[in-house]
Structure 1
């Protein structure tokens, strides 16, 4: 998760909109940059930094400042039943606003934290499962929904920011 402060003092959070690909159940969804730990990664945080650079062109080692590690989330890969642990990290971004998406990313979107925190911007996304439809909490922005794991991470970050335990910006 990458936070930045705008010139007028507002805070924004970077989301990526995933590229649309046939067979990908999260195709086109809003998410945070991320991916799998590789053997060459020294840590999960190093993997997050590498994946961010690969997906967005944002070099956290040059212009980022580590802020916090959020709670691990347990999920599964959409094509496997084996559990998978997602470890979110928060960085403050002090570099250029431009994002250079790779083939996995349709676009990068800086979303104001005030917008994400506002109750009037919270909604529900109907998600069909073999057992019926679930109404998943979400926040929609520019015709895309932030939901699922990304929404869970966002909620934890918003609590941390409101309690001044993570303060993006100078």
Structure 2
């Protein structure tokens, strides 16, 4: 019988916790999309989150780290359905072991025009995942402890776009932009941050700024 891992207390009621406390921006008429923020248990204690690295051959966001997800299809009944369907397509996720906990406020992506709804979920019965389609180069379960480590945190800047925001670099994954902003906000909301040097500003490498 497969073990069922209970939802950690810090993720309980996450939608209610986030109400009025997460970044919000006006959402216009761009195409809707959803991403899956899938947290899971680690052997020996603690939690991790599933992140993917996009293929370098893509026209948009090539090589960037992201949550599994994509555009809403007509048959999708909700952002939760979109996020779970896309995660199955991209990383082979078995949704039977996933418990959806809620959604965060939608945010616009200025580069693509998408409006993205983060869907928070708990992997109560983890199963193998892998890069299931050509646009995904890598799938990793990144420990929350590594994201909290001040040595892995800095401020990413893209001067031409007047962009400056929290970023992470963990196990060769350069996490910036939308993904890092949402991760930072959720970790801060749930008390999973340590003091880090926000004055450590690093220009985003050109390979990650390609549109």
TM-score strictly above 0.5: yes
Q: Does 1:41 align with 2:76?
A: yes
- Given the superposition, is the C-alpha separation of residues 36 and 11 from structure 1 closer, same or farther in structure 2, using an over 3 Å criterion? same
**Is the contact between residue 93 and residue 127 of structure 2 (CA under 8 Å) also seen in structure 1?**
no
In structure 2, what is the Cα distance between the partners aligned to 1:22 and 1:71?
A: 27
Is residue 117 of structure 2 the alignment partner of residue 87 of structure 1? yes
Alignment partner of 1:110 out of 117, 141, 144: 141
After the TM superposition, which residues 114-153 of structure 1 pair with which residues of structure 2 at under 5 Å, given as runs? 114-127=145-158, 129=160, 134-153=163-182
**2:98 and 2:126 mapped to 1: Cα distance?**
11
Q: 2:92 matched to which residue of 1?
A: 57
Shift of 1:22: 5.1
> Are 1:69 and 2:81 counterparts?
no
Offset of residue 96 of structure 1: 3.6
- Mapped to 2, the partners of 1:3 and 1:147 lie a distance apart of 19
Q: Which residue of 1 aligns with 2:128?
A: 98
1:102-125 deviation line (CA, Å, top 9, x unaligned): 111101011110111222211133
Q: Tell me by how many angstroms 1:38 deviates.
A: 0.5
CA RMSD after TM alignment: 2.0
Call closer, same or farther: CA 1:112–1:18 in 2, change over 3 Å: same
Asked if structure 1 preserves the Cα contact closer than 8 Å seen for 2:76 and 2:82, the reply is: yes
- Per-residue CA deviation, residues 66-103 of structure 1 (Å, 9 max, x unaligned), is 1231221112353xxxx431100111113345222111
CA contact (8 A) 2:48 2:144 kept: yes
Q: C-alpha separation between the residues in 1 aligned to 2:115 and 2:58?
A: 25
Deviations 1:134-154 (A, max 9, x none): 444310112221111101110
Aligned twin of 2:22: none
